[in-house]
Amino acid sequence: MISLRNVSTTFRGKDGDFTAVNDVSLEIPAGSIQGIIGFSGAGKSTLLRNINLLERPTRGQVVLDGVDLTALDDERLRRERHQIGMIFQHFNLLNNRTALQNVELSLKFAGIEKAERRRRAQEALEIVDLAEKSTSYPAQLSGGQKQRVAIARALVTHPKVLLCDEPTSAVDPRTTASVLQYIADINQSLGITTVVVTHELNVVKAIADNVAVMENGAVVERFDVADLAAGTFEPGTEIGRYLLDEEIHLDRTPLAGRRDPASGAPLRGRDGKELAHA
Amino acid sequence: MLSASAPTTGSESGLGLDRIIELLPEIGVAMGQTFVMLLVAIPLAILLGTPLGVWLYSASPVGLKPRPRAHRIVDSLVNTIRSFPFLILLIAIIPITRFIVGTTIGTAAVIVPLTINAIPYFARFVEQNLTQLGSGVVEAARAMGATRGQIVRDVLLVEARPALIGSITIMTVSFISYSAMAGLVGGGGIGDFAIRYGYYRYETVVMLAAIVLMIALVQVVQIGGTRLARVLDKR
């Protein structure tokens, strides 16, 4: 179980401080898949990085199976990180290492012997059906394959937790389903507690058990995906309604009423008429 | 000695090929001296400049372990050494040269200033190449529980390898030119040879021959470096 207790993260910048995560408390049951959804800049990626302390929270605690990660020294924290796999939107594979070497690296950092590294890395690539690509470099793989190598790299150390930062945002829609299928399968068969950050409602609907909606650094809404599927969930916030509304609405005449900055004359269309609201 | 028997000059005696043939042994010696200078100074610069460059990267305010104050000091020290025109550095560090190699003249004496000049030069290349890798792979390695040493050895230096080969190539080409100033302290080398015969004695043909050799040397280094970088680059 992952417990986030009153977690806040503030970045100091030239133009003053920016609070990316604002007093978030969240309990993620062991073995479940937690979705975190929100628009760009809502703080969801920072919150995800708070879990493995890639981004150390300014305040609050992150407790993994009873261990307060925020209280650990660097050495202990590194050891805990071997228990927490992570995958990224842009895969973050090493370009100058083969698929197998990329997966092995994770084991090397975990202090596993070389002979065993090779065997376990092969095994992990087998799980994501990429055994035959073990000698390929990332440049020779498709986006979906790269993400699968990244998944193999994340799970090869037998972690308790898998953190997924926009795992399907850089792959096409068909590949999205395949990547999510692997994440779901791994969650099911290995019982890995999984956290998926995304801005795509389809992704959380497909994969998550519980969803937290974030806006301006705070969790503003939570729901069970089961309730959403059953149609019994009513979003209580505007952002929730917006996120659950899959239609895209466009203003048909967004330039109506604009004026040419030089002459001050109203903008005209190709037909010579002023732009007007439909 | 050759210097006593130089009545003809290249520009007056046709192609002056016989003069070049006459000087071939000396050209051979000069090329040998250039090779020695480069083969000692460049590897030393890589050996010592790489850790310095990694430190500059790592200690920078956005690095793996920021040490802003120490970074500022080392950063300006590197700039200071890099500011010296090579000729002046060569003279200025004569006491250091004497301390290290026991002499202030000859090829060995040139290697010291060449190396001292090359270390911060290469360190900047390393720093630049590591910075340009972006934060993605570093973040992934941190998430995997890598130590800072592992991040440098197993991630950064591996990913930067093609760029570093390119930097070594650029540095080597620059130092073929710098090594020409070795003559000032009797260090010899093909560049010094060109200056002595072309600039001091107006033996244009001999100078041109030396320059052609330097062009060939630069071409070989550049083409070899580019090829190697391309083979190593798996992006």
Spell out the SS3 assignment of chain B.
Answer: CHHHCCCCCHHHCCCCHHHHHHHHHHHHHHHHHHHHHHHHHHHHHHHHHHHHHHHHHHHCCCCCCCCHHHHHHHHHHHHHHHHCCHHHHHHHCHHHHHHHHCCCCCHHHHHHHHHHHHHHHHHHHHHHHHHCCCCHHHHHHHHCCCCHHHHHHHHHHHHCHHHHHHHHHHHHHHHHHHHHHHHHHCCCCHHHHHHHHHHHCCCHHHHHHHHHHHHHHHHHHHHHHHHHHHHHCCC
pLDDT tens, position by position, B70-94: 999 999 999 999 998 888 988 899 9
What pLDDT, on the 0 to 100 scale, is given for residue B11?
A: 46
Q: Measured between beta carbons, which residues in chain B are less than 8 angstroms from residue A157?
A: 144
How would residue B8 be classed by pLDDT, with cut points 50, 70 and 90?
very low
What confidence score (pLDDT) does residue A141 get? 96
Of B154, B162, B235, the CB nearest to A108: B154
CB within 8 Å: A94 and B155: yes
> For testing the chain A interface, which of B64, B138, B144 should be mutated: the one with the most A CBs within 10 Å?
B144
Residues of chain A with Cβ-Cβ distance to B139 below 8 Å are 54, 88, 92
Write the residue in B139, B145, B235 that is nearest to A110 by C-beta.
Answer: B145
Does the pLDDT value for residue A135 go beyond 80?
Answer: yes
Which pLDDT does position A256 carry in this prediction? 74
Q: Which of B154, B161, B235 sits opposite A105 (nearest CB)?
A: B154
| Mean pLDDT to the nearest integer, A175-204 | 93
Inter-chain CB proximity A137 and B232 less than 8 Å: no
Whether B148 and chain A come into contact, CB under 8 Å, resolves to: no
Position B14 confidence tier, pLDDT thresholds 50, 70, 90: low
Q: Does pLDDT of A192 surpass 60?
A: yes
Of the given ranges (A37-46, A64-73, A123-132, B180-189), which has the lowest mean pLDDT? B180-189
Say whether residue A59 is in contact with chain B using an 8 A CB cutoff.
Answer: no
Mean pLDDT score, B8-28:
73
Q: Do A95 and B235 touch (CB under 8 A)?
A: yes
ipTM passes above 0.90: no
Confidence of residue B21 (pLDDT cuts 50, 70, 90): confident
- Take residue B181 and report the two structure tokens written for it: 């100033």
Q: Are B27 and B193 in contact (CB under 8 A)?
A: yes
Q: Domain spans of chain A?
A: 2-224
From chain B, pick out residues whose CB is under 8 angstroms from the CB of A14: none
**Is the per-residue pLDDT at A6 higher than 70?**
yes
- Taking the Cβ of residue B201 and every Cβ of chain A, the question of whether any pair is shorter than 8 Å is answered with no
Q: Is B39's Cβ below 8 Å from some Cβ in A?
A: no
- pLDDT tens for residues A218-249? 999 999 988 888 888 888 887 778 777 767 77
Q: How confident is the model at residue B9 (pLDDT cuts 50, 70, 90)?
A: very low
- The shortest CB-CB distance from B139 to any of A54, A82, A84 is to A54
CA distance A30 to chain B (A): 20
Q: Tell me: the pLDDT tens digits for B192-211?
A: 888 888 888 888 888 888 88
Given a cut of 70, is residue B13 above it in pLDDT? Answer: no
Closest by CA to A256, choosing from A273, A274, A241, A238, is A274
Output B10 or B142, whichever has higher pLDDT.
B142
pLDDT of residue B4: 46
Q: CB distance from A169 to chain B under 8 Å?
A: no
User: pLDDT at position A253, please?
Assistant: 65
Determine, for residues A88 and B136 on separate chains, whether the beta-carbon distance falls below 8 Å.
yes
Cβ within 8 Å, pair A86-B161:
no
Q: Which residues on adjacent β-strands are paired with residue A162? A: A85, A194
User: Tell me, what's the pLDDT at B36?
Assistant: 92
Q: Which of A192, A103, A109 is nearest to A156 (CA)?
A: A103
| CA nearest neighbour of A131 among A173, A162, A107, A100 | A100
Say if residues B192 and B182 touch (Cβ distance below 8 Å). Answer: yes
How many alpha carbons fall within 13 Å on the CB side of residue B60?
Answer: 15
Q: A30-86 pLDDT, tens per residue?
A: 999 999 999 888 999 999 999 999 999 999 999 999 999 999 999 999 999 999 999
Residues 171-200 of B with CB under 8 A from A: none
Q: How high does pLDDT run on average in chain B?
A: 89
- Encoding tokens for residue A154? 């994340």
Record: contact A109-B136, CB cut-off 8 A: no
**C-beta atoms of B154 and A163 within 8 A:** no
Region B207-229: mean pLDDT is 92
pLDDT at B226: 94
Q: Which tens digit of pLDDT belongs to each residue from A199-215?
A: 988 899 899 999 999 99
Burial of B94 (0-12, 13-18, 19+ CB in 10 A): middle
Of A96, A97, A109, the CB nearest to B146: A109
| Subunit contact B159:A96, Cβ cutoff 8 A | yes
CATH (residue range A2-224)? 3.40.50.300
Q: Which of B139, B146, B162 sits opposite A92 (nearest CB)?
A: B139
Contacts of A90 in chain B (CB under 8 A): 136
Answer whether B235 touches A (CB < 8 Å): yes
The 3 state secondary structure assigned to chain A is CEEEEEEEEEEEECCEEEEEEEEEEEEECCCCEEEEECCCCCCHHHHHHHHCCCCCCCEEEEEECCEEHHHCCHHHHHHHHCCEEEECCCCCCCCCCCHHHHHHHHHHHCCCCHHHHHHHHHHHHHHCCCHHHCCCCHHHCCHHHHHHHHHHHHHCCCCCEEEEECCCCCCCHHHHHHHHHHHHHHHHHHCCEEEEEECCHHHHHHHCCEEEEEECCEEEEEEEHHHHHHCCCCCCCHHHHHHHCCCCCCCCCCCCCCECCCCCCECECCCCCECCCC
* Best CA proximity match to B192, nearest among B65, B27, B2, B19: B27
The whole-number pLDDT of residue B20 equals 86
Give chain B's domains with CATH numbers: 2-232 (1.10.3720.10)
Query: Can you give the pLDDT at residue A278?
Result: 52
Question: Which residues in chain A have their CB less than 8 angstroms from residue B150's CB?
Answer: 108-109
The pLDDT of residue B191: 86
| In chain A, % of residues over pLDDT 70 | 97
Give burial (CB, 10 Å; 0-12/13-18/19+) of B52: buried
A72-119 confidence digits (pLDDT tens): 999 999 999 999 999 999 999 999 999 999 999 999 999 999 999 999
B128-156 confidence digits (pLDDT tens): 999 999 899 999 999 999 999 999 999 99
pLDDT for B19 equals 86
Residues of A within 8 A of B144 (CB-CB) are 81-82, 86, 105-106, 109-110, 153, 157
pLDDT at B125: 97
- Residue A34 has φ and ψ, to the nearest 5°, of -100, 125
